[in-house]
Structure 1
Amino acid sequence: MNITSLTKKQVAKSIVPQLEEEAYNMSLQTGLLKNYMPSSPITTHLVHNGFIPDIITTEENGETNIYEIQLNNKIDTERWNFFARYTKERHGTLHIIVPESNLSAAEKVIAEKDIRNIKLMYVPN
């Protein structure tokens, strides 16, 4: 159940232009917006099916950042842990975007599950 009237597409529309403005030679993939190449699933030898990030950016130097938009209250800690490790290995960060009303719940899960290399962001309700 979404806890905000926003959609992932609307959030992506506000984030993507800012990301493109801040970066020089960056590739950006997202299946949320037209005119962008969707990301393929990210897999490892342990996670064969993988996960598809909402938005993934890769700088020319290889730094990789993932932006996950979590608008409902079903938090997938396996996915967050996987993306956090993946971006850390590539000198980037996992950015989680949640509605303001879900901020404390997300902070609690991150602390309880000891998820590192993560930045929590919020959108107003």
Structure 2
Amino acid sequence: MTNPNTFATREEIKKLFLLEAIEHGKAIANGDHKQANKLNKRLQSIYDKTRKQNWQNIFGELISHDDENVRLWAATFSLKSTPDLAEKTLQELSGLTSITGLTAQTTLRLWKEDKLDLL
């Protein structure tokens, strides 16, 4: 996939984030942990790019997206900038019986315990 550092606009970053978050969810659902790990690194790189550009609010714009994986990643990446909205979204996702629900629970717990070091 494309390197987020080559993207110059907010819209390009948003599109790449959507694509990567959805693909990450598919990789997890299919049990393809190698691909999921690659996508996780790409998503982290996107987050790093938005921080450098001061564009973290991109994720808040996507926090109510239809896809649960997009909501999960958007909420996770919004924890520092809009913690109330991000925590509410993670709490809602925690009610899902999918791996996304478990991931949301774990993310929220780690955040509250100040152990989430990816942000």
TM-score, normalised to structure 2, is 0.36
More strand by share: 1
Higher Cα radius of gyration? 1
- TM-score of the pair, normalised by structure 1: 0.35
